[in-house]
Chain A
Amino acid sequence: MQMPHGLDIARLYDEHAQALYAFLLNLTRDEADTRDLLQEVFIKLARDEARLCGVREERAFLIRLAHNAAIDLMRRRGTRDRTRENFAAETSSLFAPASDPDAATFRDELAGALAELPAEQRAVAHLKLWEGLTFEEIATALAIPPNTAASRYRYALDKLRGRLRPLYEEVKQAES
C-alpha cells in the first residue's frame, strides 16, 4: 500500500512488525493487547503520514510510538484491573516453544523473571537483549537519558541473574 509522499505501510510492517510485536508482548504479556497496540501504531502511521517525515531511525521511532501506546494502555488499565499483573500464569510467554525440556524450562523461568520486573526495566532489558540497541538508542526510543537506560538495564539484569542463577548453573554444567 503506497501512501502519498512515499509512505509504504506494508514495507514498514514487514520490516518492523516482528520487533514491535516482541516488544509489546514483553510489555503487556497479553496477545490480544499486543495485537490492539500493534494495530494502533500502524493506524496512527496511516492517518498521519507526516509522523515519519524526516525520521532517520524508523525502528527507534516506531518503538517509541509502541511504547507510548503501551504506557497509555497500562495507565488506562491500571486503575480498573490492577490485579491483572498478578496472574502470571495467564500471561503470554514472549518466547517460542522449545522441544528440548531444559531449554523450555529456562525460557519459562526467564519469562517468569521478566514478568516480575517493573515495566520500565523490562522495556530497557528487552531492547538491549533482544533488539541489540545501544543505551543511546534505547534512550532515544524511550525518551529517557542514557544513564537512566543503563541503570535500569543493570537493575533488571541483576534481578534476572538472581532469579535464574541456579537454573543457569545447571544448564551450564549440563552443556559442559
Chain B
Amino acid sequence: MTPEIEPFEQRLGRQPVKPVPAAWRAEILAAARAAQPAAGTARPSPASWLASLFWPYPRAWAGLAAVWGFIFLLHFSLREAPPTLAQTAPAPAPSPEAVAELRQQQKLYAELMDAPGPREADRPRLAAPKPRSQRWDVAAA
C-alpha cells in the first residue's frame, strides 16, 4: 500500500453525493402504503413465520432439526422387523398319535404323584430345630 493511498481515500470519501430528491419520499411511501396488506388480513407467509420463530439462529435450529431427523431415521432403520405371518400363524393340530402319547404320559405322571407316603422333604417337622450349639452337644453325645 502506497503512502498516498490514505489521503487519496479520504479525498474520495469527502466528495458529497447527491441528496435523494425530496419529492420521492411521498411517492415511495404512498406506494409502500398501498402495497401494505390490510390490517387483520395480513397473514405471514410460512417462510417468514418460520424465520421469525427461529430467529436469530435459523441455521443452528435447522442443523439441530437435521440431527434429530437423522437420529429418527437411524432408529427406525435399525429397529427389528415385525414378525411375519408365517411366524405368527397358529401351529397345526397335533396328530391323534401324539395326543394319545401325551395322555399316556399325563396318566403316568398322575400315578407317580399319587404314590403312597409323603416324601422326606414333604414330611412335617415335629419340632423347631434347636440352636446350632445344642445340636453340637447332641452330636457329641
Q: Which residues of A contact B (CB under 8 A)?
A: 1, 3-4, 9-10, 13-14, 17-18, 21-22, 25, 35, 38-39, 42-43, 45-51, 53-54, 56, 93-96, 106-107, 110, 129-130, 132, 157, 160-161, 164, 168, 171
B61 at the interface (CB under 8 A from A): no
What's the minimum C-beta distance from B80 to chain A, rounded to whole angstroms? 45
Instruction: Report B-chain residues with C-beta under 8 Å of the C-beta of A129.
Output: 9, 12-13
B24 at the interface (CB under 8 A from A): yes
- Give the size of the chain B interface in residues (CB under 8 angstroms): 35
B56 at the interface (CB under 8 A from A): yes
Partner of B35, one of A47, A157, A160: A47
Contact (A130, B24) CB under 8 Å given A54-B55, A161-B8: no
Cα(A48)–Cα(B19), bound, Å:
27
Cα(A110)–Cα(B13), bound, Å:
11
Which B44-77 residues have C-beta < 8 A from chain A? 44-45, 48-49, 51-52, 55-56
Whether A46 lies near B33 (C-beta < 8 A) is yes
Q: Give 20 A-B pairs besides A47-B35, A94-B17, A107-B15 with Cβ atoms closer than 8 angstroms.
A: A1-B29, A9-B33, A14-B25, A21-B18, A21-B19, A35-B21, A39-B27, A39-B28, A45-B32, A46-B33, A50-B45, A50-B48, A50-B51, A53-B48, A53-B52, A53-B55, A54-B51, A54-B55, A96-B16, A168-B11
Cα(A4)–Cα(B36), bound, Å:
10
Contact (A93, B18) CB under 8 Å given A38-B24, A53-B55, A110-B12: yes
Instruction: Report B-chain residues with C-beta under 8 Å of the C-beta of A161.
Output: 4-5, 8
Q: Which single residue of chain B is at the shortest CB-CB distance from A1? A: B33
Instruction: Report B-chain residues with C-beta under 8 Å of the C-beta of A56.
Output: 56
